[in-house]
């Protein structure tokens, strides 16, 4: 599978992330900038065993996404 774009809106620390992709992608950055949240957002879409990962005492996050394939 080839992803051509990732768009995340109102998910954890992302108000809006909209990135067009090409070739191989490396995710890097300082601590606490959202690297794990980005990977978790993708996992929510592609892994049917993930149920929203609500933390105890929190409501499950809505699972909705648009994935663009080339």
Closest CA to 34 of 20, 21, 16, 50: 16
pLDDT-based confidence at 2, cuts 50/70/90? confident
- Phi, then psi, of 4 in degrees rounded to 5: -105, -15
Per-residue DSSP letter, 32:
T
Q: What is the CA radius of gyration of the chain?
A: 13
Mean pLDDT of 24-33: 94
Give the residue-averaged pLDDT of 26-43: 95
**How sure is the predictor about 69, in pLDDT bands with cuts at 50, 70 and 90?**
low
Beta-carbon contacts of 24 under 8 Å, excluding residues fewer than 6 positions away, are none
Count CB atoms within 10 A of the CB of residue 11: 20
Q: Which strand (E) or helix (H) includes residue 11? A: strand 3-11
């Amino acid at each position: 599978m080839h992803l051509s774009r990732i768009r995340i809106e109102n998910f954890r620390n992302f108000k809006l992330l909209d990135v067009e992709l090409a070739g191989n992608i490396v995710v890097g950055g300082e601590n606490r900038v959202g690297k794990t949240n980005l990977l978790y957002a993708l996992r929510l879409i592609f892994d049917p065993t993930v149920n929203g990962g609500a933390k105890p005492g929190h409501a499950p996050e809505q699972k909705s996404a648009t994935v663009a394939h080339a």
